[in-house]
Amino acid sequence: MDNFAAPLEELIDSFASLPSIGRKSAQRLAFHMLSMDDASAQKFIDSVTNARSKIHRCPVCCNLTDKDICSICSSPSRNKSTICVVENPKDVIAIEKTHEYNGVYHVLHGAISPLNDIGVEDICAKELILRLQDDSVKEIIMATNTTVEGEATAVYLSHLLKPIGVKVTRLAYGVPVGADLEYADEVTLVRAIEGRQEL
């Protein structure tokens, strides 16, 4: 008997198929799952089925929501003339936590990455272009990650969007607040010097 009983092995395989869960973690999770009381296990299963059935993409901004139109797009207090373009729903939460941005968002659900076979048609880019058909949008803020893929996506989309006549901006590059200059990498420092501002 080199393996656990079949249903337990299947449960371990299920967990091991999730991202960043190795075999040992999957075992630990499976044993935990077996030791749970019935109510907690049912709650776990319900949360999976519930989220999968209720969560969908907002037809306007492609962010994940359980409403017909997400709470940001449907809010009358948000400024619909500025769209902040991000890669993932997590980035929306990150920017919302600043409490400084009052515009709306567009979630691409990824970034262009030819090496991984992800082209512009695999991200929610055409939905963004559709939003520009009325003239109400004045500015697009590219807030994709500052990785190679995020940069490429920002540059590619700006080339698509500028001919439409909308202002396209990019988040400022620079030294993070609270950082020691000696630990900043060269590229970041160069960008920070280039983008210096008068005091």
Residues within the interface to a copy of itself (CB under 8 A): 1-8, 10-11, 13-14, 17-21, 25, 27-34, 36, 40-41, 43-45, 47-52, 54-55, 64-67, 70-72, 88-90, 92-93, 96-97
CB of 25 to a copy of itself, least distance (A): 6
CB of 113 to a copy of itself, least distance (A): 16
Q: Which is nearer to a copy of itself, 92 or 168 (CB)?
A: 92
CB of 9 to a copy of itself, least distance (A): 9
CB of 28 to a copy of itself, least distance (A): 6
Q: Which is nearer to a copy of itself, 36 or 120 (CB)?
A: 36
CA–CA separation, 89 vs 63, rounded Å? 6
Helix (H, G, I), strand (E, B) or coil at 96: helix
Per-residue tokens: 8: 């337990």
CA–CA separation, 51 vs 44, rounded Å? 11
Q: Which is nearer to a copy of itself, 72 or 112 (CB)?
A: 72
CB of 119 to a copy of itself, least distance (A): 18
Q: How far is CA 78 from the centre of its chain?
A: 20
CA–CA separation, 40 vs 8, rounded Å? 18
CA distance from start to end of the chain: 72
CA–CA separation, 196 vs 56, rounded Å? 42
Q: Which is nearer to a copy of itself, 30 or 168 (CB)?
A: 30
Angle between helices 23-35 and 6-16 (to 10 degrees): 120
